[in-house]
Structure formats: structure tokens, C-alpha cells
Structure 1
Amino acid sequence: MSQSVPSQSRAASADAAAGSRDKVALAMFVVLLLSYVVNAMDRQLFSVLATDVRRALDLSLPQVGLASTIFTLGMGLAGIPTGYLLQRMSRLGVSILGLIIFSVATLLTAYASGLADLLVYRFVSGLGEAMQLTAILAIGTTYFVNHRAMAASSLNFTFGIGAVVGPNIGAAILNATHWQMPFIVFGLAGIPVLLLILLFVRPWFSEARADEDLSAAGREEDAAESLWAPRPVLLATATVFAGLSIYGYLGLYPTYLREAVGFSPREAALAVSCYGFGALFSLIGGWSGDRFDYRKLLVASLLVAAVSGGLLFTELSRSLPLHMLLSFIFGVTISGMVYANLSAGIIKSVVRRKAAQASGLFVAALYIPAAFAGYILGSLKNVVGWTPAGAGQLAGCAVIAALLCLMTGRLRSTPGA
């Protein structure tokens, strides 16, 4: 009996120390998420300013649509290589390097003189954003292994904050100055965030290894050994079509509001920011994905996104309040639920030591095709008009993604698949 008391005391002390360590780790993760807010602000800025950039640089609608989404090509191309880079370089170092790259590229966008250099700056910003996103996603899903969907969704939650704040601040700066100034301000915003990361984030958190026994409960029975097993491939393909829907909206929806509906920059920014409010539901989406069948959640969410996204480009949505409501619903479903559970789902579908590569696969699948979402929508608009083009791309791609997610539920994967 006398020996059990010290044993219980040591166990209680160990639990207390682990709890304290996890709280510190969570605080450091919040600092990294703050840097992702800056990422989201940079990413959402261009679409609100697209009409002004188009006029200043004398671009066509397909050209400015391409410029709106070309950064995702950089993100996609960098996704899988970054996943492998994380095996050779510290995750924190990759995250910091990504922050520096996309901040500098955002700043240089203000000095673009034509389509060619504009596309270069936008593409390079995507490279940096992918490095940061992949690194933070790997950090969160590796350390918080019991809550991988929550860790993944927290990135999209902070994206939602940036998506709310970025367009409105950008529109306010535009109204007070000129189209270059928002890019300058947002580019310089990376400096204080970089200092916070250097001061507060420690390697024991950011570099926690996949083979450490942080928790035995974080492993899935049907996790595959290869990224190219049927389930991760099907989920990645669903991500491709979800990305075409998401970035069709993000790339040219504000332009549609300004040029077809007749909204002012501030009104268009307000409507788009409601999508960001919807993305704030990512934490609920991640929580749901950790506790329920994420595949069923994906199918239901994608179908609701198809309906709300399609209605955004119809004659039914000519009022600002209705645009705000539909954008919010689209944001809740496609960003709050779909993004969170596709990213976590791909990571869950493989063994834990493949988490970094799975993060890269998700980034590549989402962002490489999305690079052309704005160009596709702009080209379709020139052929069939705004409503068939916008409703067809947003709704059609979401429905295809839903069917692919439905197929994954019929698979019986094995760990060695």
C-alpha cells in the first residue's frame, strides 16, 4: 500500500506536466495560425481589387481571372515537393520561409506593370503560401494526433478570419488611396508576425516526430501505407473538383458582383467576407469529422454547397442581403465542412508517418487545378454568360466531388494498400 502512493503521485505529476506541455503547445500553434491569417488576407485581397487591376493594366476578363487564381498553381506545384522537403528541413523553417516568400511577392504585386510580371508575382506568392500551409498542417496533425480534423480545420478557421478582415480592409484602403497600396500594406504585415514566430515557437513542438508515441489512439485501422492507395486517390480527386468550385467563386465572384450586378467595391467585399464568416465554422466541421463519419459529412456538405453556390450566379440573387446569406452558406459548407474534412480525410487515410506527404497531396490536389478556375469561369462567361458559367462551375464541380466522396465509403482499405 505504501508503495502505491508514490506511484500514484508520480503518475499525477506526469499527467500534470503533460497537460501543461500541451497548453504551451496550443499557444505556439495559435502563433502559427496567426501567421496563416496574414496568408489568408493576402490570398483574398486580389479578387476584391481585380476590377481595378484590370483597368490599370488593361487586362481582359479571362486574363484577370487567371491572375486571380494563378497563385494556386504555385501552391499546388509546391505542395508535394514541400511534403518531402519537410523530411529534410525543419517544419518551422519551412513555415517561416513560406511566410517571407508570399509576403514579398504580395508587396511586389503593387509594382506590376503588365500581365507577365503580375502572373509571376502571383505564382511566387502561391509557392510561399503552400510551403507555409503544408508545414503548419504537418505540425498540427502530427502533434495533436487525436484531433487531426480539428487541427486541420483550425487552419481554415484562421483562413476565415483573414477572409473576413482582408477584403474589407483592402476595400477601405482602396477607397482612401489607390489599388497598389493594399498590396503594400498586406505585404509588410508579415514582418511583425515573423518576429512573433521567432520569439515564441519552439522546436520540441514544431518538430515532434511521427514515430513518437504521443498517442496510440491516433491511428486508423484502414490507414494505407501509400499515398496512391484507392482511398487517398479518390479523396484527392474529390479535392480537385471541390477546388474548382471554391476558386471559381473566390476568383471571379467579386468581379461578377461589380460588373454584372453593379455592386460597389465595398458591397462586393461585404458579400465575399460572408464566405469568410462561413469558414469560421471550420472548427465545428473538424470536430464533427473527428467524431462522425467524415465521408457522409462531405457528401451532404458538397450537395448543399452545390445548391447555394449555383444560386449565387442566378437572377434570384440580385440583393445584397441575399448574396450575403448565400455566400455565408457556401462558406459554411464548402470551406467550413468540406475543406476541413478533405484535408483531414486524406491525412487519416494513410499511416501517420506519411502525414507530411499527405498534407502535400492535399495541397497539390486542391491548388493545381484551382489555378485555372478563374480562367475557366471567365472563358465560359464569354461563351454562355455569367449565370450558366458560374452556376455550372460551382454547382457541377461540387456534385462531382460529392459522388467521389460517396465512392470512398464503399472501399475496404487495408493498411498495406
Structure 2
Amino acid sequence: MQKRHVALGMFAVLLFSYVINAIDRQLFSVLASDVRTALGLTLPQVGLASTVFTLGMGLAGIPTGYLLSKMSRKSVTLIGLVVFSAATYLTAYSTGLPDLLAYRFISGLGEAMQLTALLAIGTSYFVRHRAVAASSLNFTFGIGAIIGPNLGAAILGATHWKMPFIVFGLSGIVAIAVIVPLVKPWFSEAQALPDSTGNAQDQAELAANESLWARTPVVLAIATAFAGLSIYGYLGLYPTYLREALGFTPKQAAAAVSFYGLGALLSLLGGWLGDRYDYRKLLFLSLLLSALAGGLLFTDLGGSLTAHAAMSFVFGATISGMVYANLSAGIIKSVSRAKAAQASGLFVASLYIPAAFAGYLLGQLKQSLDWTQAGIVQVSGCALLAALLAIAAGTRCAIKGTPASADAARRPA
């Protein structure tokens, strides 16, 4: 029991570092209007800059999954931290669209390395609670999503648009200084062993897909791609919609978006439900609610900040708290434990490669339609497509029926 408490403490340290990752991801959208003005960008261009980091995340996802078989997970986590923190810092010194896109893309590479490594660490050590382990990352993302927009807007109000990037870029040093001495290899490099006390886990292992490209993980990956277009359409340009279409101040827009992060705090509940019930049905219902809330967010809602904050909370609770947690864990569950790291990479790639173009796509739709129609087409429509794919996915699961002793059956990698 004492060792388990120590393991939880080390996981908490890693989750703290992920808060910085989340802050970096949420920061740009609040500052997008200021960056657009300073660099003379069009709406589609700043929309692309808002989400292009996810292209870096997606392209790095699967290679990082394989890199984890060659390097320690702790090392990959630290490299990711260094890369995305440096890129965030350099974003402040962008002079035009090309270098802005380059820094944003590189930040995504580092963020993917950290995310993939942390997913592998959590889901490999806490075998019986993979959905909760995966959702705990999104829980901490929610914390960062609350802190990032509000603190970024406060720094912007006191200084200029460059300073938030500088401050949060340097904050990665703190996380590195904590991880290096406190996270031990017996935790970060743990691998689950086949259970010798019974047959249930062995049967579940045999029932799991040995191939990453079997039907269930592939269908869930496609659902993840559409969910990513919905999520990052909102995250990429929703604050711009509030500021430029509804006349909200930067602080008001940041406050509304931060309620998305508050909703994401329900990730632990989403993971708990996904570990106990049919995650496909949970995904279907959550995505339907996401589609409804996402469409309403791109209406004026009477110009009420309270109404927009409430809808942001519902959208965050459903698509981030429930959907993100169970899509990530679902893909990992659908393959054998030996493929867990690669499955983490598949999830990251599926979510973030399409999401890279979500802001640009929404910007283009807005030019052809209006903000409301564009939001309904992309944010609601993609969520509905993801719902249909999620319910159509198979149910084979690598940990169904895993006995209570599974978390103890580990050895260092």
C-alpha cells in the first residue's frame, strides 16, 4: 500500500507538468486577436496558427509511441517539456506567419511527446484503472485550461501580447526541476505482467487485438479525428468569435473559455464511468450533448457572458470530460497491453493531425457562411459523426475482467 501511495505521488508530479502543457495549448487562442493585429494576419491565418500545433502533436504521436520502446518514458517526458517550453518562449519573437507557424508546430511536437509518454506511464502502471489514469491527464488539462486563459489575459492587460508566451515558456524549467529527482524508474518504466493467479486476465489479453490496425482501434481513431475537429474548432476560434462578433473584452472571453476547462475537470468521473460501463454508449450520449452545446456556443445567447460560460462548461464536461477520456482509454483498451504505448500514439495522432486544420477550416467556413452556421457545421456536425462512429466500434477490450491483483503484477521495463 505504501508503494502505491508513492506511485500516486509521482504520478501527481507528472500531472503537474501536464498543467503547463495545457496552459501552453490554451494560451494562444485568447491572444489570437492581438497576435493577428500585431502581425497583420487574416482570420483564416490566425485560425491556422491557433491550431497548427496539433499537427505537430499528431505527426509526433505514433513515432513517439515507437520511441518509447527505445528510450525511457521519463526521458521522453523531459525532452517533450524542453521542446514545447522553448517553442512557446520563441513564439513571443515571431515576426510573421512563417516563423509563427513554425514555433507553434514545434510546440506541438514537444506536447505530443509528453502526452504520449504520460499516457503510457499511467495506463501501464494502473492497469485496472486505465480510463481513470487517462482521464486524470485531461483533468489536469482542465486545470491548465482554467489558469491559462485567465492568467494570460491578466498578463496581457498589464504588459503586452509577448509577455504571456515568455512567462509560460520559462515555467517549463520548474517542472523539469521537480521531475528529475522525484520520479523513479520503477514507476515510470513499469510494465504489467500476465497474472499468475487466475485465467481472467489471460483470457482478456487473448481477446484483445494484437494489431493496432484492427477494426475496433481504427474505427475509434476515426471517431477521435472528428471529435478533434469539433474540439479545436471551438478552442481555436471561439474566443475570436466572442471578441470580434460579440464585442467581449479579452478578460470576458478568457472567462468564458475557462469554463471549458472547468468542465474538463469531470474527466475523472468520465474515466470512472468508462471503466465500469459500456464506454461506447457513454461516448455516443456525450457526443450528442457536445453537438448541442457546441452549436449553441456560436449563437449570441443574448450577449450574456453567463450563458456563454454555462455552455462552455457543458461542452467541456461532455467532449473533454467524457469523450476525450473514453476515446483515449478505449483505443488503449482495444489492443493488447504490449501495444499500449503504440495505442497512445495512435490516439494522439488521430486527435491532433486533423485538429491542426480545425481553426483554418472554421475560418474558411465563416467567410462563406456566418459565425453561427460555421460553428454548427463544424463543431456540431463533427461531434455527431464521431457519435455514430463510436457506437459502431467493437467492444473487445484488453482489461475486461482483469482481477484485482493486476496492478501489483509489474516489473521494471
Per the normalisation by structure 2, the TM-score is 0.93
5 Å-filtered alignment, 1:180-259, equals 180-211=162-193, 219=204, 222-259=207-244
Structure 1 pair 259/215, CA: closer, same or farther in 2 (3 Å)?
farther
Q: CA deviation at 1:221?
A: 6.2
Q: Which amino acid aligns with 2:151?
A: I
Q: Is 2:337–2:398's contact at 8 Å kept on the other side of the alignment?
A: no
> 1:404 maps to which residue?
389
Q: Deviations over 1:137-176 (max 9, x none)?
A: 0000000000000000000000000000010000000000
The whole-number CA distance in structure 2 between the counterparts of 1:414 and 1:188 is 40
Q: CA offset at residue 317 of structure 1?
A: 5.1
Correspondence for 2:335: 350
User: What secondary structure sits across from 1:209 in the alignment?
Assistant: strand
Change in 2 beyond 3 A, CA 1:413/1:285: closer
Q: Which residue of 1 aligns with 2:9?
A: 27
Q: Deviations over 1:206-237 (max 9, x none)?
A: 00124465997664663100011000000000
**Structure 1 residue ranges without an equivalent (≥5):** 1-18
Residue 295 of structure 1 corresponds to 280
The gaps in structure 2 that reach 5 residues or longer are 400-413
Q: 2:48 aligns with which of 62, 66, 83?
A: 66
* Pair 1:147 & 2:132 matched: no
Whether the aligned pair in 1 keeps the contact of 2:270 and 2:321 (CA below 8 Å) is yes
Aligned to 2:378: 393
Greater shift, 306-315 or 110-119, is seen at 306-315
1:360 aligns with 345
1:247-302 deviations in Å (ceiling 9; x for gaps): 00000000000000110000000000000000000000000001111111000000
Secondary structure of residue in 2 paired with 1:228: coil
Indicate conservation of the 8 Å contact 2:335/2:398, yes or no: no
Cα offset, 1:246, TM superposition: 0.2
Equivalent residue in structure 2 for 1:94, among 76, 85, 89: 76
* 1:160 matches 2:160: no
State the shift of 1:24 in Å.
Answer: 0.5
Q: Which amino acid aligns with 1:395?
A: S
- Name which one, 1 or 2, has greater alpha-carbon Rg: 1
Indicate yes or no: 2:269 matched with 1:278. Answer: no
2:38 corresponds in structure 1 to 56
**Identical positions, percent:** 70
- Name the amino acid aligned to 2:173: I
Q: Distance in 2 between matches of 1:397 and 1:324?
A: 22
1:36 paired residue number: 18
Question: Following the alignment from structure 2 to structure 1, what is the Cα–Cα distance between the partners of residues 238 and 136?
Answer: 25
Residue 122, structure 1, aligned to residue 104, structure 2: yes
Query: Residue 113 of structure 2 aligns to which amino acid in structure 1?
Result: M
SS of aligned partner of 1:225 = coil
Q: Which residue identity is paired with 1:37?
A: V
Q: Does 2:326 correspond to 1:341? A: yes
- Residues 264 and 90 (structure 1 numbering): CA distance in 2 closer, same or farther, change over 3 Å? same
Question: Root-mean-square deviation (CA), in Å?
Answer: 1.6
Could you tell me how far apart the structure 1 residues matched to 2:28 and 2:328 are?
24
Q: Which amino acid aligns with 2:171?
A: A
CA distance in 1, matches of 2:194, 2:251: 49
Note if contact 2:335-2:397 (Cα within 8 Å) is conserved in structure 1: no
Residue of structure 2 in register with 1:176 after alignment:
158
1:330-365 Cα shifts (integer Å, max 9, x gaps): 000000000000000000000001000000000000
Structure 1 residue 20 displacement after superposition: 1.1
Look up the equivalent residue of 1:303 and give its one-letter code. L
Change in 2 beyond 3 A, CA 1:226/1:55: same
1:316, CA displacement in angstroms? 3.2
When structure 1 is superposed on structure 2, of 311-320 and 349-358 the one drifting more is 311-320
Q: 1:70 to 1:162 in 2, by over 3 A?
A: same
Deviation of 1:414 after TM superposition, in Å, equals 10
Instruction: Flag the 1:390–1:194 CA change in 2: closer, same or farther, 3 A.
Output: same
Aligned pair in 2 of structure 1 residues 234, 377: CA closer, same or farther (>3 Å)? same
Structure 1 CA distance, aligned partners of 2:10 and 2:368?
Answer: 50
8 Å CA contact 2:334, 2:396 repeated in 1: no
Q: Counterpart of 1:77? A: 59
Give me the whole-angstrom Cα distance separating, in 1, the residues matched to 2:262 and 2:393: 29
